Structure 1
Amino acid sequence: MDELRPQDPARIGVWQILARLGAGGMGEVYLGRSPGGRLVAVKVIRDEISDHPESLARFRREAATMETVRSPYTAQLIEASLDSSPYWLATEYVPGPTLRAAVTGSGPFPPESALRLFAALAEGLATVHVHGVTHRDLKPQNVILAPQGPQLIDFGIARGLEQTLLTQVGMAPGTPGYAAPEVLLRNEVGPAADIFALGATIAFAATGRPPYGGGEASAVSYRTVHEDINLEGVRDDLAALIRRCVAKDPAERPELAAVIAGCAVDSALAADAHYRSVARDAEAVPEGVAEAAPEHVTAVEPEAEPKSARWGYDETTPYPSPNRRPPAPTRPGRRKGWLAVCALGLVVPLGLWLLPGQGDDKDTEAGTTGATTSGPTANTGPKDDAKDDAKDDPAQGPPDHIVNDRVSQDRWTLSDDPQQASQGIGSCDMGSLADSSPPTDMQSSVSHTTGSGTATAAFRPKNAGKGERPAPYYVSVGIRPPHETDRATGRPLKSVGKGIGFTSKPVDLYSKWSSGGTIKFQYPDDFRAHFDARTVDAIPVSDDPGDWTVVLYHVEGGPTKYTSIVCNGFHA
């Protein structure tokens, strides 16, 4: 739960808006209070995508599904406005962390606790199926751990059981790692696919790991279809039940009643010590939130709310083929600007960032996403004088950090083309990059999941481990939010971001030469903003929606001697 921002509405319908509960590809979710004091969750579709037919259809379908499904395991629909913009729905407020947040913060569930959660979620899915509905996107993010038991949320792609196929060939609902093989291969969606997702969700709860590993969506989808689930360290009886649920053939998966029986629970989940400990934060609204809205929020009707960012959404964004093993990144064609691939909505968003000098000169496909990236046109070879500077005294090493002491001309923006924007494609104004370029053997990527507070930046030399290790070439990653950072509080200001943002510790591009070469930084954990006499921790991505710029810097000397070499970004 986060504080409201200046651009957030003070009231939606009869509901006074008190706090932000989250955000996603379709819009924002707020904590609201009725005139009589009842708390609700208000989900508002963004103005920028309200004219998109698929988005509006999904939103209306979610309201209809919630009205149809009456279950102790789902939040109840209280009110909805679906006839004219702004479109919104208000549901029962279910306090509690998501299963993903609980496992991330407190670690995996013990076996007995995982079995009790298994049984409860199976029972919840059974009550949904009784109403003729399949959830189609069960995953840890869509399970709230309320004090009385788990709640299933986000029915935006739920469908009736008779509606097993999407209307467009080659499109798949759900989330990689939790969507069943038949969904990925044939778009076949039925109760058995929900059971697969249930098994994968419990695997995450029991291990704390993505059930089919991480990485690009294409790689996760490939492993889901062709490889075994990762259950290392899981107790035998729990692992056996999970494996039955995630059988590749949907006909081999057990019925939900059999899953519940297989869990053999003998006590209530709400009485489980581990469950109580991770759900305890759900028992109260933070002090002061329910009393009044912050004074800085302007009381405007939603119709008058300014558009603060451009959003795109495409419910039918296709998965890369799960039958195609993802190839190694190859060199894109050289054009001015950069294109980033970042799918919004149901498919896990993925930004692919390929740098100049990655293989042959001809245009090639960027992974299996069906889009290409491009690099700067000037100085396509390595900058000899910069590299020579790095060789002067390799033993000295890089500075501990670089200083945010300048106005950056490198800026990434989401495409104005609706189709490209719906896929998260944008371009970067090259700015100072006209005077520099990266090493010809450098590869890199940046990824961000829509609605999350994190991002990952990685880079490596293409030929790591082959031949003699090159002389050090120090690199720092800079990630700049859409708005400027308050140096005193670290929070976003209203002004547009102009500095270099939050930066990583400079490292040698070739420091992992013998172990694969890949260097990864996790945002916000590995990033800080360093000013002259002050250091500020990085903010979560979700705290500042808009266009984020990601720049690689060649660090040539002290903390103020660095040059931008590659620009990219993503939309949050």
Structure 2
Amino acid sequence: MDALRGNDPTRLGPYVLQARLGAGGMGQVYLGRSPGGRLVALKVIRDEITEHPEALVRFRREVETARAVRSAYTANLIDASLDEAPYWLATEYVQGPTLSSAVAERGPLPAETCRGLFAALAEGLAAVHACGVTHRDLKPQNVILSQRGPQLIDFGIARGAEQTAVTEDGAAGPGTPGFTAPEVLMRNEVGPAADVFALGATVAYAATGRPPFGTGPAASVGYRAVYEPIDLAGVEEGLAGLVQACVAKDPAARPSLAQVIERCAVSGALVGDVHYAALAGTGAVPQPAAAPAPGGAPVPAVPAAAPPGRAVGDTGPTASPVDGSAKGGGASSEPPKRIEQTAPSVTYWNADPHDEWAGGRCNIPSEEVNQHFQFSVPRDAAEIASGKVKIGMRLKPDGARPGERYYATAVVKPPHDQSVAEAEESGMGLIENRALGHTSELVDLNAEGDAQDRPWVEFTYPDDFGTDAQGGSSSDARPLRDDPGDWTVMFMHVTSPKDYRTVVCTGFTVPE
């Protein structure tokens, strides 16, 4: 929960807004209070997509679904405004952490707690299916661990058997990589069995604390979900067997929800489980935190040589030393000017520390960690407003390996695939950017300066950034002012134009 910001509304319909609860692809979620004092969760569609017909279809469908699905396992719809902007819906406010945040903070759940969660979520999904609806996006971020039991939230891409998928830009995709069933990814076949797959993957995350099919680009995670086994290393045998049955590649081979409940063989209510009760918590509704300082996740102490006015950090204490090579090949002796995009990029940084998917950090972890790598990104509002920002990196002096090369590049990714003006002109609205981003030229960080007093290598955005494509074509970087929002910054260890690994992912916010 976070404090309201200066550009947030103070009231929606009869509800007085109290705080920010999070954000998603469609818009912002607020904590609101009714005239009589009832707390509600208000989801508001983003202003920039209110004119996008497909997005409005999805939002209206979410309201219809929430109205149809009324059970002890979902937050019931209370109110909605669909006639004119701002469009919003209000549901019961359910207090408690998401399964995702609980596991991230407290670690994997014990096997018996997982069985209780398994059975409770299966019962909840059965109630949803009884209403003629499939959820389509069950994942740890969409499960709230409340004091009355787990609650299913976010029916933004749920649909009934008679409905067709919304596939235009601005609407929902096929779900979340790692939790979406193979038949949905391959043939867009959506049914109750796909929710069973997502249930198994969700419990696998709860039992291991790890993404069920690993991390990386969405296409890679989806490929593993279709063709490779789920990660169940260390999971108790009986629980692992039930998860494996639920994530069978063939939907016909998966158990029914009734069979899942039977195999869990729970003997008591989940809310009576000591471990679950500790996660769900007790007490009064938490108060919103003070407005956070601009920027992303906390960073380590700034070294003496750090550039002033910017956030600076290491990549963490668990890395291997720099060795001049990366997974997948050795350092190139003739490096390219810039790297080339090889697949859609679905890595994004989100400034909101309470966003349920990114949470004040990048949604996909770095692929390679290096304890000697340091970086700097802009945090000063005046610098960002000037339209020219400094992006810096270096290897610590103690990471020097004489004679070895360590090529690196900085990548700056705008939040949308077009500028605001271009999106308005096209009439399609703002669309999430799936390009790699604009890159700096490569630099050998092991060759910069004296090993005992290595300077920072700084680039100025947009002047020193561009995009190189296959065939040698290139384009300039987009100005900051053209696309307000959360910009992603990635630092890459490069071994060839098409072989590179993310060492650091962070970002900065360009205000409207």
Structure 1 and Structure 2 fold alike (TM over 0.5): yes
Residue 506, structure 1, aligned to residue 365, structure 2: no
Q: Of the candidates 475, 478, 482, which is equivalent to residue 376 of structure 2?
A: 478
Q: Are 2:110 and 1:110 equivalent residues in the alignment?
A: yes
1:62 and 1:199, CA in 2 relative to 1: closer, same or farther beyond 3 A? same
Alignment match, 1:231? 232
User: Could you tell me which residue of structure 2 aligns to residue 448 of structure 1?
Assistant: 348
Q: CA–CA distance in 2 between the matches of 1:92 and 1:563?
A: 49
Task: Check the 8 A contact 1:166/1:187 in 2, yes or no.
Answer: no
Partner in structure 2 of residue 535 of structure 1? none
Using the TM superposition, give the Cα deviation of residue 268 of structure 1 relative to its aligned residue in structure 2, in angstroms: 0.7
Give the root-mean-square deviation of aligned CA atoms. 4.0
Q: Does residue 564 of structure 1 match 2:459?
A: yes
Structure 1 residue aligned with 2:57: 57
Partner Cα distance (2:87, 2:338) in 1: 46
Matched, 1:86 2:113: no
Cα separation, 2, equivalents of 1:519 and 1:278: 41
C-alpha change, 1:556 and 1:59, in structure 2 (3 Å) is farther
How many Å separate the matches in 2 of 1:459 and 1:167? 30
CA distance in 2, matches of 1:76, 1:264: 28
CA spacing shift, 1:207–1:68, aligned 2, 3 Å = same
After superposition, where does 1:234-249 map in structure 2 within 5 Å?
A: 234-249=235-250
- Report the CA distance shift for 1:285/1:271 in structure 2 as closer, same or farther (over 3 A): same
| Separation of aligned partners in 1, 2:155 and 2:46 | 18
Distance 1:45 1:481, change over 3 A: farther
Cα distance change of structure 1 residues 458 and 41 upon mapping to structure 2, 3 Å threshold: closer
Structure 2 counterpart of 1:138, which letter? L
State the SS of the aligned residue for 2:5: coil
Assess if the C-alpha contact under 8 Å between 1:401 and 1:559 holds in 2.
no
Q: Which moved more, 1:158-167 or 1:234-243?
A: 158-167
1:550 to 1:404, Cα distance in 2 relative to 1, 3 A: farther
Under a length normalisation based on structure 1, what TM-score does the superposition of the two structures give?
A: 0.60
**In 1, Cα distance between equivalents of 2:256 and 2:12:** 42
Pair 57,509 (structure 1): closer, same or farther in 2 beyond 3 Å: farther
Listed one character per residue, the Cα deviations across residues 198-234 of structure 1 (whole Å, up to 9, x for unaligned) are 0000000000000000011111011010100010100
| Cα pair distance change 1:507/1:245, threshold 3 Å | farther
Which residue of structure 2 aligns with residue 268 of structure 1? Answer: 269
The answer for the alignment partner of 1:18 in structure 2 is: 18
TM-score normalised by structure 2 residue count: 0.66
Q: How far apart are 1:478 and its partner, in Å?
A: 3.0
In structure 2, what is the Cα distance between the partners aligned to 1:446 and 1:484?
Answer: 29
- In the alignment, what sits opposite 2:68? 68
Report the Cα offset of residue 440 of structure 1: 3.3
Does the 8 Å contact 1:114/1:206 carry over to 2? Answer: yes
* Structure 1 SS opposite 2:281: helix
Deviation at 1:286, TM superposition (A): 2.1
Between the aligned residues of both structures, percent identity stands at: 52
| Separation in 2, partners of 1:240, 1:231 | 9
Partner of 2:37, secondary structure, is coil
Shift of 1:90: 0.9
Per-residue deviation at 1:564?
Answer: 1.8
Instruction: Mark the CA change 1:81 to 1:561 in structure 2 (over 3 Å): closer, same or farther.
Output: same
Which position in structure 1 is the counterpart of 2:123?
123
Q: Structure 1: any 5+ residue segments left out of the alignment?
A: 297-398, 409-437, 461-473, 486-493, 522-547
Aligned with 1:232: secondary structure?
coil
* Deviation readout 1:275-320 (Å, 9 max, x if unpaired): 1111116x42224x5xxx99x9xxxxxxxxxxxxxxxxxxxxxxxx
1:403 paired residue among 301, 306, 316:
306
Residue 510 to residue 447, structure 1, CA distance change in 2 (3 Å)? farther
- What SS does the aligned partner of 1:19 have? strand
Q: Is the 8 A contact 1:459 1:520 kept in 2?
A: no
Matched-pair contact (CA < 8 Å) for 1:75–1:94: yes
Q: Would you say the 8 A contact 1:482–1:496 is kept in 2?
A: no
